[in-house]
């Protein structure tokens, strides 16, 4: 599945799961733009992902992870294990 569509589906799923309307996002996005995101017609900037996630009440990484879970068809455990491993490797190389 195309990543824009996966992001849109994840955004819509999280929005509905939290009982939010498109109008609830009016402080960070117009209803028209949100609709185009949910239909996979547009891709958001990182700043927009952060704003959308804050309205939903999740971390931006959660919104992105939901997108990749739908797009790649992998399990939550596999995705988190990969991210944990990659972050640990980067952290070790960075000395932090």
CATH of the domain at 76: 1.10.260.40
Stretch 53-80: mean pLDDT, rounded?
91
* Domain of residue 71, residue span: 3-94
Number of compact structural domains in the chain: 1
- Residue-level pLDDT at 90: 87
Output the pTM of the full model.
0.87
Helices 76-94, 60-72: crossing angle, 10 deg rounding: 130
* pLDDT for 91 beyond 80: no
């Amino acid at each position: 599945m195309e990543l824009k569509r996966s992001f849109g589906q994840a955004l819509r799923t999280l929005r509905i799961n939290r009982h939010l309307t498109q109008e609830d996002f009016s402080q960070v996005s117009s209803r028209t733009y949100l609709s185009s995101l949910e239909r996979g017609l547009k891709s958001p900037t990182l700043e927009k992902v952060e704003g959308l996630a804050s309205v939903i009440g999740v971390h931006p990484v959660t919104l992105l992870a939901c997108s990749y879970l739908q797009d790649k068809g992998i399990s939550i455990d596999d995705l988190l294990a990969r991210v944990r491993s990659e972050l640990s490797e980067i952290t070790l190389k960075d000395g932090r």
